[in-house]
Structure 1
Amino acid sequence: MAPTLRCLLFFIFFLLLLRRRAAAAPVFTEFLYPNFSASSVNYLEKGGIFFYSNTSTFYGTLSSQAPQSPFVFSIVHSPTSAVVWSANAAKPAPYTAELSFNATGFSISLPDGTVLWATPKLPRPANAACLLDSGNLIVLDAANVSMWQSFAYPTDTLLSSQRLPSGSYLSTPGDDYRLMVTDSDAVLLWSIGDAQQFWRLSSDIRFFKDLNSQVAYMAANESGLYLFSSAGTVVFEVSLPPTKLRILKLESNGQFIIKGYSGTGSALDQALVAPSGLCDLPSSCKQLDVCTVQNQAATCNCPASFTASHNGGCAPSDGSTVFSPSGCTSRNKSQESYRSLGGGVGYIPNKFASPVSSGRDFASCRDFCSGNCTCLGFFYSASSQSCFLVKKQIGSLVSNTNDGVSDTGVGYIKVLETPQTPSVSSRGSSSSNLLPILLPSIAVFLLIIVLIFAGTQWHRRRRRHHSGKRRSRTSSSSKPSNMKDIYLGRNPAWPSPGDEHGFTGDDSNSDSDEISIPGLPTRFTYSDLASATDNFSVKIGSGGFGEVFKGQLPDKSFVAVKRISAALGGGVHGKKEFCTEIAVIGNIHHVNLVRLRGFCTEGRRRMLVYEYMNRGSLERPLFGAAGPVLEWQERMDIAIGAARGLAYLHFGCDQKIIHCDVKPENILLHDGGGVKISDFGLAKLISPEQSSFFTTMRGTRGYLAPEWLTNSSISDRTDVYSYGMVLLEIIRGRKNRTVESSGGGGGGSSSGGSGIGEVGYFPMAALEMHERGRYLELADRRLEGRVREEDVRLAVKVALCCLHEDPGLRPTMASVAAMLEGAMEVTQPRPEALNFLRLYGRGFVDYGGSSTTTGEQVTGTTSSSSAVSYSYMTSQEVSGPR
């Protein structure tokens, strides 16, 4: 046969063989039709893939680890191989099982017909299934109407444009962790049997709250993560770097991670990890291990009196075993006892939990746990008399030295004592011989116990009777005649006899130890704080409300102790009111807010204990002549941090908090770039419904919004105005009002072309330079050109938007932070709403207060003088200490 003929026949045979194989091989398609079936065996050579979306962005697959191993029906993102949905991830199907699609929908069945997974019952027969380019798998009827979609049944992943309604959740295989959307937040839960919360979106430093409304659903898009109301308006938002596709996944360890795909390559860019702390997960370490962050790494060690267990984690050193709820049915309560975890050990879920009781003693808390068969232990705080139970499951612990861990007291773990095994000889007839001997002995023993108890109670009553007489004599002999005046704050500067600090005697209210309010931070005694501050010897601040001292607690951490001369300037008179407000403030945790670590209320003594910020307030590096100049980027980081803190106060707390005294002195700095708002603990706590009725003037001259002058309602936008003034001072590096001015202008700006000179009122100069488009001249001269004009332009525009005379035109603090970060387009200032700055600058209107306020202390008091005052008062003369 000729070579040419042989080649032709071989080619024809090859085409027939190829056609036959193509008929048997799986066909990749966008649609599936009824009577389709697939298994990991017949699709093995194609990696289990059996259909694609229109642009091949996603594909459906039967994924398995190896041949003849269980498979999972999944939807996969093609470029990155990221699994975005799985039908049976918790229970992979045997390799002999089969995936089918017919008129009833999808199902996975065994050869004997046992159904392992199936779509819910459909209202009409299925006509086709389609995988969309969004990653959504849908089932269609004959009219091409969707009857089922994978987006409505999320597993552990959410995609861009996919909604997670309120009440729904993502969950890990096995349901160990959940990300649940509630009507007010998004939370992470562990141990679903008891749903222990260990993170929430509103506590994350990256979130903003734009609206006080119920949450309807969560969704992400190219610009960030959002919680929406039923009307489609944004309630919460987290701005993220823009990307083409957003993939949100709940990892198997409980972390919620958001990644983005740029559209090229095969890598996903990580945009958010929550919680981000190394010890913020319930399983950061093994069971009962204490997680501690040291040098950017986490270490795990057993608490005192505990040792490493052969099963992993920690167990009591005395050989007793940690109680397990599985022993509830056959438990012997006489064998139960508790082991202390020692001081300085906390539990992450307690940070987000409410106490099961408050105002009760330690014994009551222990009884709560003993009476609950699922309780594994409890935490009891003696300072707040709050009780937290740990039920059904307990993970790792955390060192309380880590920032952000609530003080929930000392923990106790329920254990079972190792029972003594009786000897064989004692089990038979000998037990009957011992009974006549033991019964009288037991009776005598019980009688002795009763007598001891009765004697103890009599002795205690006798001691209380004598101590009550002593207190009565002491009170009557030492109570000053002017106690009422001091209590009402009429002259808090007058010290009472016998107390050099102006505090003496006892309150007319009940003793502070009897005040039990849930959520109180650590309660210190006066002697504790006197010792911590070396008898109040290192003074770091003073003002109208009292003095601030540096101190060091026994755990070696530094604190700032604010000793208040009167109960919050007359705003909170009694101990109960004081403690109620402290309970609210003490539970506010945000990276840009100074943390309240504790308080003291003994007699008339009122003290607040804050974390110590070692760089002091912003005014020192910003206005001080000595020290290095703040570079532009550091200034913007400070501005953004302060904006985030105020945004949290306005919308992140259960009660809206308006600071009312935003100024550089209340923005504190710490090494490493820490920026925190202080003095919000003395702000007025109001609900959204009450905000329109709060009109009492308070604050600092030079930062007061115009609505203070017109007796208009005060809202969160009042803080926005004050922040705008601070932002201008950050830009210029000087106070907004200066005494000297160049060019002969009496408080205006120089009109010369060379620059603005030393203006008398900088906000007016900023407005005029904005109108001329000359921004670089507004920057701090000490920067010597180390700043770009477009950066100054952005900051000036944001500041001017904050200064609009109409509060409704000012942006929210969340929007301010987003604009400064570049995550939101900067809105244009409206000149007609800023003309009042020219009146302030040219002296027609008092620039920082009403014409009837002379500047002594702007807290509602007025002067009889009607003359306009332009003298600048220092911030500490009109505000409290830091």
Structure 2
Amino acid sequence: MAFFIFFLSFSFSCAIVSGISWSEFLYPNFTASHYKFIDGGGSFLFSRNGSFKAAMSSPGTQHTRYYFCVIHVVSHNIIWSANREAPVSNSGNMILDFDGIKIIDEDGSLKWSTPSLKSSVSALELTDTGNLILMDKFNGTLWESFQYPTDTILIGQNLPIGTWLSSAKTDDDLSTGDYKLLITVSDAILQWQNQTYWKLSMATKAYTNSNYAVEYMAVNQTGLYLLGHNGSVVVIQLNLVQSKFRMAKLDASGQFIISSFSSADGNTDFVGPIDRCRIPFICGSVGLCTDDSQSGAPLCSCPSNFKAGSSKSTNCKPGDASYSLLVSCNGTSNSTKLNPSSLISYLRLGYGTDYFANDFTNPTKYGVDLTSCQDLCSARCSCLGIFFGNSSGSCYQVENVLGSFRVTSSSENDRLGFIKTVVGPPTRDGDDNGFSGQSSNFPIVALVLLPSTGFFLLVLLAFLWCRRSRVSTTGKAKINRPSSPSEDIDAFSIMGLPMRFDYEELEKATNNFKIKIGAGGFGTVYKGTLPDGTVVAVKKITNLGLQGKKDFCTEIAIIGNIHHVNLVKLKGFCAQGRERMLVYEYMNRGSLDCTLFGTGPVLEWQERLDIALGIARGLAYLHSGCEHKIIHCDVKPENILLQEQFQAKISDFGLSKLLSPEQSSQFTTMRGTRGYLAPEWLTSSAISDKTDVYSYGMVLLELVSGRKNCLSRTRSHNTSDDNSNGAPSSSSSTQGIMYFPLFALDMHEEGRYLELADLRLEGRVTSEQVEKLVRVALCCVHEEPTLRPNMGSVVSMLEGEIPLCQPSLASLNFLRFYGRRFAESSAVEQSSGKDSVTLFPKEDNSRSRANSASNTYFSYISSQQVSGPR
């Protein structure tokens, strides 16, 4: 009896010991399994703050695959797993010994282990940040889980360049899925089957500074960052709502999701891509994804000429059983051919269908016709389909694997899709996506038609040859004939052209160019409505001289491929005969100058700050975020357009390249607008992106004051003499016209920033708020370009990421000369009744223009815009 009682007591004590969970540290010769710690759900180690636990756990509702993993306690999210490729049973063991960690299945087979370590293990720690660390006897780190991420990174964890996160196959199968987030030298990109389908820089909240190379990605309490220069420079930043705990995860669905948790539910801070139809396999192979704006969920169907596959598959297959899809040769030699008896055919997907990879790959070939594009694909066993750019003649190939397609609007692309098929029944195994190339059931009708088809092809080729010869003999007679609508840009191809419109289409859209909404040096702008109801702004370009259609289209291809939330989107163009027109998105709040200097409701300070930040982000993208740096050369309120919620967008970037030879010669010395011209225009110095920074600084001063810099009227101290714009005046004791940037410099030196603010904001803005914008503006208008910050730094200063710069008074003294010359030229204009002064003649070489930019500044400018509002 005593023995029985002792045996029960011993067994009970062992059960208690076996179920104990540990805090923070484990030591060698420790063994754990899910079965051994079943009462705790397999958990055996907790971090000191209780935020994380280590466990032998089975995710989801299945109970067959168990993993050694680290779990975030509040959300129950698995943030790291060791044996994701080799799960074990509920009796499989995690063993900690002096050599490291091993995962052993119940049959004794080794499933996973840590790499060979440089010394013996003394302890295993689970930190408060979720990091598992193997330590030696000196508490040195031998191995840590943060260095081997799976699908998640946490605060305190870095993801270096060249590494990636890999999605799980499903929520309850942690083995590596088909999606990965890769860190490159310039971005963080999402890939499927090694094909890119999204980049972090595409996010509307992302700010990019491409002057530096990325070294690693990190997430913290304020957002997600790609960092370079040993972590001291932000290359891409994604600002999010402040949170104590945040994780970034590549979900099994293919979306990159950033979440914060104060409760089990948590909050989703960011999702990319937000359009789920951009996920490559969202609707299976050859499935067609349509975005349902009401439900927010993607709708899956099959394209025309295709139907749903077997009940076990979400894939689509040809609607006609005579056609079968091909299996790629997975990138083997291009000389690999199909069975000679195979007949290739292409099933059309039609307009309005696009493929995710087209936006991230270059065409295989440019300037070809549809038949040539199909021939290129037919010769490659790795090619499974094509997309043909109708307006550009660009041939895109779908390589190695077929994902899902998505529905697009005609304004997004004009690519026409085709899927490569072979005439013949499906493979014997019934796979919806494969064809062996060895089918014995080749259609008899094809065998009968093949010889006759060859004969007719020969006849057709002979006819085309004769026609080509006839055209070549009459070609000279057509050289001098004016081009007709049918002879516009079809004679050549430019990669990446936006949508092309016919003149008649735009004439109808604008009601015969009836509603004029703007005019300037480049032409006149009209409001129009496209057939699908989209409201657009149509700009008729004038004075293009003898510039050919191809040169025009080359520039438009560059501009049309630039996309940023703070840049006006070019939706299309027209190049027909001598007509050149650009079609832009319509900005319903007009230009900044009308809103800022007009008689409408006053812009509140936060709205001005948002506008300033939007302009800065747009310029930063033009300077450093594009493949080719673009210098705007005419930053001014007239070229800043506003949308709902006063979202600022820069217009007419890159259009200086479209000047006619006459215009180019006229403005050799200068291109821009009075009041915004940087000093280097006047000294024959090099023009750089810092020229735009100067113009931006001048616009920033106008945002502060609510009036034009060159329309400032002075007043005595402690007076309120206002000009016609209702703006404040200078501290000068002399009444009259003066230069506002000089007044801003004076007030900065005296620390009297509130006197610079728009009087209409009285009581609704603080001195500190005004100081922030004024200091940034003065730094931007330094006479020496190298002292001006780049636009990336301007964005960071406005967002509070870096300290405000300190204006250099020595590099701002030129404003005093400008101010005197401004007052003198204004007095001359008023006394003579004229509104302009003479432009410096191009041929005048009698005096070096570099001698004194300050003394000649107002001899160069005109009171009208040099380029005009565009």
Counterpart check, 1:349 vs 2:357:
yes
C-alpha change, 1:37 and 1:818, in structure 2 (3 Å) is: same
Counterparts of 1:533 and 1:858 in 2: how far apart (Å)?
Answer: 40
C-alpha change, 1:274 and 1:547, in structure 2 (3 Å) is: same
SS for the counterpart of 2:527 is: strand
Q: Is the 8 A contact 1:857 1:878 kept in 2?
A: no
Corresponding position of 1:277 = 275
C-alpha change, 1:439 and 1:613, in structure 2 (3 Å) is: closer
C-alpha change, 1:442 and 1:245, in structure 2 (3 Å) is: closer
Equivalent residues in 2 for 1:609-648 (5 A)? 609-625=583-599, 627-648=600-621
Q: Is the 8 A contact 1:335 1:419 kept in 2?
A: no
Counterparts of 2:247 and 2:127 in 1: how far apart (Å)?
Answer: 16
Aligned mate of 2:700, from 701, 713, 727:
727
SS for the counterpart of 1:878 is: coil
Deviations 1:353-375 (CA, angstroms, capped at 9, x unpaired): 21121122211221233333343
- Count of aligned pairs between the two proteins: 802
Corresponding position of 1:184 = 186
SS for the counterpart of 2:745 is: helix
* RMSD, matched Cα: 4.4
Counterpart check, 1:585 vs 2:593:
no
Stretch of structure 1 that moved more, 365-374 or 641-650: 365-374
Corresponding position of 1:72 = 67
Corresponding position of 1:42 = 36
Counterparts of 1:721 and 1:211 in 2: how far apart (Å)?
Answer: 21
Shift of 1:438: 12
Corresponding position of 2:235 = 236
C-alpha change, 1:857 and 1:523, in structure 2 (3 Å) is: farther
SS for the counterpart of 2:539 is: strand
Counterpart of 1:589, as a letter, is H
SS for the counterpart of 1:184 is: coil
Shift of 1:168: 0.9
C-alpha change, 1:759 and 1:82, in structure 2 (3 Å) is: farther
Counterparts of 1:543 and 1:862 in 2: how far apart (Å)?
Answer: 28
Counterpart check, 1:563 vs 2:563:
no
SS for the counterpart of 2:236 is: strand
Counterpart of 1:801, as a letter, is C
Counterparts of 1:397 and 1:536 in 2: how far apart (Å)?
Answer: 38
Shift of 1:78: 3.7
Counterparts of 1:343 and 1:218 in 2: how far apart (Å)?
Answer: 39
Stretch of structure 1 that moved more, 715-724 or 48-57: 48-57
Stretch of structure 1 that moved more, 655-664 or 264-273: 264-273
Shift of 1:188: 0.8
C-alpha change, 1:856 and 1:295, in structure 2 (3 Å) is: farther
SS for the counterpart of 1:584 is: helix
C-alpha change, 1:241 and 1:696, in structure 2 (3 Å) is: farther
Counterpart check, 1:816 vs 2:784:
no
Counterpart of 2:815, as a letter, is L
Counterparts of 1:324 and 1:757 in 2: how far apart (Å)?
Answer: 83
Counterparts of 1:841 and 1:648 in 2: how far apart (Å)?
Answer: 33
Aligned mate of 2:150, from 141, 146, 155:
155
Corresponding position of 1:383 = 391
Equivalent residues in 2 for 1:156-305 (5 A)? 156-173=151-168, 174-190=176-192, 192=193, 195-210=194-209, 212-229=211-228, 231-238=230-237, 239-260=239-260, 268-277=266-275, 279-283=277-281, 285=283, 287-292=286-291, 294=293, 297=296, 300=299, 302=301, 305=304
Deviations 1:258-306 (CA, angstroms, capped at 9, x unpaired): 2346xx6666454332223354433555653242364684563647735
Counterpart check, 1:413 vs 2:419:
yes
Corresponding position of 1:540 = 517
Q: Is the 8 A contact 2:151 2:250 kept in 1?
A: yes
Shift of 1:808: 3.4
Corresponding position of 2:347 = 339
Counterparts of 1:182 and 1:18 in 2: how far apart (Å)?
Answer: 56
SS for the counterpart of 2:582 is: strand
Deviations 1:439-475 (CA, angstroms, capped at 9, x unpaired): 9998677555534542343244324534x25414x54
Counterparts of 2:344 and 2:158 in 1: how far apart (Å)?
Answer: 47
SS for the counterpart of 2:711 is: coil
Aligned mate of 1:146, from 120, 141, 147:
141
Q: Is the 8 A contact 1:212 1:235 kept in 2?
A: no
Deviations 1:800-845 (CA, angstroms, capped at 9, x unpaired): 3323333333333233333334444434444444343343334379
Counterparts of 2:151 and 2:447 in 1: how far apart (Å)?
Answer: 63
Q: Is the 8 A contact 2:126 2:133 kept in 1?
A: yes
In structure 2, the gaps of 5 or more residues are 1-5, 169-175, 331-336, 428-439, 659-666, 830-834, 848-854
Counterparts of 1:450 and 1:231 in 2: how far apart (Å)?
Answer: 66
Equivalent residues in 2 for 1:489-500 (5 A)? none
Shift of 1:589: 1.1
C-alpha change, 1:22 and 1:317, in structure 2 (3 Å) is: closer
Corresponding position of 2:470 = 462
Counterpart of 1:52, as a letter, is F
Deviations 1:323-346 (CA, angstroms, capped at 9, x unpaired): 252799987874542232222232
Shift of 1:72: 1.6
Counterpart check, 1:653 vs 2:626:
yes
Q: Is the 8 A contact 1:205 1:591 kept in 2?
A: yes
SS for the counterpart of 1:325 is: coil
Shift of 1:33: 3.0
Aligned mate of 2:478, from 444, 460, 471:
471
Stretch of structure 1 that moved more, 244-253 or 318-327: 318-327
Counterpart check, 1:669 vs 2:676:
no
C-alpha change, 1:182 and 1:86, in structure 2 (3 Å) is: same
For normalisation by structure 2, the TM-score amounts to 0.81
SS for the counterpart of 2:134 is: strand
SS for the counterpart of 1:680 is: coil
Corresponding position of 2:804 = 826
Counterpart of 1:580, as a letter, is T
SS for the counterpart of 1:60 is: strand
Counterpart of 2:478, as a letter, is R
Counterparts of 1:313 and 1:756 in 2: how far apart (Å)?
Answer: 80
Counterparts of 2:391 and 2:410 in 1: how far apart (Å)?
Answer: 20
Shift of 1:728: 2.0
Q: Is the 8 A contact 2:302 2:308 kept in 1?
A: no
Q: Is the 8 A contact 1:346 1:408 kept in 2?
A: no
Q: Is the 8 A contact 1:384 1:522 kept in 2?
A: no
Counterparts of 2:464 and 2:763 in 1: how far apart (Å)?
Answer: 79
For normalisation by structure 1, the TM-score amounts to 0.80
Q: Is the 8 A contact 2:389 2:414 kept in 1?
A: yes
C-alpha change, 1:389 and 1:455, in structure 2 (3 Å) is: closer
Shift of 1:846: 9.0
Stretch of structure 1 that moved more, 328-337 or 650-659: 328-337
Deviations 1:626-676 (CA, angstroms, capped at 9, x unpaired): x43333333322222211111111111122222121111111122354431
Corresponding position of 2:651 = 678
Deviations 1:3-30 (CA, angstroms, capped at 9, x unpaired): xxxxxxxxx9999998665434334043
Q: Is the 8 A contact 2:678 2:694 kept in 1?
A: yes
C-alpha change, 1:131 and 1:359, in structure 2 (3 Å) is: same
C-alpha change, 1:131 and 1:452, in structure 2 (3 Å) is: closer
C-alpha change, 1:394 and 1:550, in structure 2 (3 Å) is: farther
Counterparts of 2:736 and 2:16 in 1: how far apart (Å)?
Answer: 84
Q: What is the percentage of aligned positions where both structures have the same residue? A: 46
Corresponding position of 2:19 = 25
C-alpha change, 1:394 and 1:623, in structure 2 (3 Å) is: farther
Stretch of structure 1 that moved more, 109-118 or 511-520: 511-520
Shift of 1:157: 0.8
C-alpha change, 1:140 and 1:683, in structure 2 (3 Å) is: farther
